[in-house]
Amino acid sequence: MRMRPTLSWTPTEALPPATTDLEPVADALRAGGVLVLSGAGLSTESGIPDYRGVGGSLSRHTPMTYQDFTTSAAARRRYWARSHLGWRTFGRALPNAGHRAVAAFGRHGLLTGVITQNVDGLHQAAGSADAVELHGSLERVVCLSCGALSPRRELAVRLAEANRGFAPVAAGINPDGDADLTDEQVGDFRVLPCTVCGGVLKPDVVFFGEAVPPGRVEHCRALVREAASLLVLGSSLTVMSGLRFVRQAARAGKPVLIVNRDATRGDRHAVARVALPLGGALTTVAEELGLPVG
């Protein structure tokens, strides 16, 4: 079943006030058994904008939907042109202090796992090798016909060869690696088929309007069941794919803590929301716990 895209959220009730006190986060980590759920806000300090924060990408562009991608050749051409250009920048992004702090928490046995809504691979690059990629990864490409998986870097080489001289200047880059280009800049960009069967290629990510694979959802639900608490980092929790785990934890009586500068759709389920920049906040917590952040 395909989910209807949810691009925005407006509070309909008064939410608990935010705090700048990091002690609840430090206390949860001291106790151990913490499950991290991260969103695009964790990667902004790596130069990748988020969707809904100040200056977020939704203020200037609408993400590709699964329905448009699968039904429109023009939409696929536009997506792959923009994504091919964006990949050059996106693929060079490096983990920031927030990613490194999460990896340090994991190395010292304070976490039961990491679930990320991000598709940038920065948790893994920082050392959180077992992070569950809820929405997939831009580092892989899947064929919609035969299901063959291949590395994104291989497709990048093929696209570069097929589109020699394609080097427009983008107005910006988005959390999904999609660069901002006009239709004129996209031009007649050549889209390539699967090398196995000739089918349509798609990045191995969950587009807006597409359902997260059920097995992946159940794996994440199991992680929530096993955790003592849930720590949300840099997510507005606007879409149900992440919010459902907050609701699950709250129903089970597990403390939910959120570090996000703006209000979130999960605030009413949380024991605290800390409104601080993530890199500095998580580094402060790590230092308080005596953990080196590499």
Residue list for the binding site: 39-59, 117-120, 143, 146, 194, 197, 234-236, 278
Rounded distance, CA 232 to CA 257, Å? Answer: 6
| C-beta separation of 237 from 257 below 8 A | no
Rounded distance, CA 245 to CA 266, Å? Answer: 10
| C-beta separation of 63 from 208 below 8 A | yes
Binding-site residue set for NAD(+): 39-59, 117-120, 234-236, 278
Q: Which has the closest alpha carbon to 201: 135, 276, 129, 141?
A: 141
CA–CA distances in Å: residue 28 to residues 25, 157, 165, 189: 5, 45, 53, 50
Rounded distance, CA 180 to CA 169, Å? Answer: 9
Tell me, rounded to whole angstroms, the distance of Cα 133 from its chain centroid: 8
Binding-site residue set for Zn(2+): 143, 146, 194, 197
Active site residues: 135
**247, exposed or middle or buried, with CB in 10 Å at 0-12, 13-18, 19+?**
middle
